[in-house]
Amino acid sequence: MGLFIKRWLLPVLGAALALWLIFRLYGSLDFARFLDGLRYANPVWLTVLAAMILLEQLLSGWKWRQILFDVKPVGSLPLTGALLAGYGVNVLVPLGVSPLVRAWLVARLHGLKMATVLSTAVIARFLDGVVFALFAGAVAAAGRIPQIEGDLRLGLSIAGALNLLLFGGLLWVLFRFRGLLAREEPLICRLFDWITGRMGASGPGLRASLGAGIVWPRA
């Protein structure tokens, strides 16, 4: 019975939930109007937009490579492909599964453990939050803010400060307590092992894999 639930019932329920969410998110879109807008759009700017999106993903892949390098050197292009695959799956299954998909792909293709790769993906995401905070601060300090209702400059300043505190704090917590993952005594580790054990996984092994991915580029 347990095997039936894990192998058939849970995937079917997950697929049904994903289809329902897709219908809820995209069912009200006016595709005819969207296609009509594309028909009259300037192809030059559409090309520029597509190129900038690809460039952004390539830079994201390069950034991820710097974090993953001390675990295993993986090229920027394979990592960019994993990022795009993750975004593609996230469009079909809008449940925030993109980091899991990209971590699984890179781990499968390069002989790594998924939890280790996932830790590096989390660090990359936290760094994105820090960079956003810095950009928001720069725009609030020196950018030309459009005159609209409300104090947009103050809003940007607060958003940037909150992002810096949140993601900078999360990075500090990761690196400050990564040694905790290798110990058996703390309550949080025993609780983690109990939860993962109920899911049929090895708690100590998973903690070790997660800790192995909490790395910082040395060069």
Instruction: Give domain limits for the chain.
Output: 32-112, 114-219
Question: Which pLDDT score is estimated for 156?
Answer: 78
CA–CA distance, 118 with 188 (Å, rounded to integer): 20
pTM above 0.85, yes or no: no
The beta-strand segments (E) located in the chain are: none
Count the residues in the chain: 219
Reported as a single tens digit per residue, the pLDDT across 164-214 is: 899 889 999 888 888 888 787 778 888 888 888 887 778 888 888 888 888
* Band of pLDDT at residue 147, cut at 50, 70 and 90: low
Please state, rounded to an integer, the average pLDDT across all residues of the chain.
Answer: 83
Question: Which pLDDT score is estimated for 187?
Answer: 83
Question: Which pLDDT score is estimated for 89?
Answer: 81
* Band of pLDDT at residue 58, cut at 50, 70 and 90: very high
The beta-strand segments (E) located in 81-176 are: none
Sign of CA dihedral 158, 164, 166, 169: negative
Amino acid identity at 218: R
Find the helix packing angle between 114-142 and 98-110, rounded to 10°.
130
Average pLDDT estimate for 122-130: 90
Average pLDDT estimate for 128-138: 86
- Give me the percent of the chain exceeding a pLDDT of 70: 90
* Host H or E run for residue 1: none
Q: Tell me: pLDDT of 7 over 70.
A: no
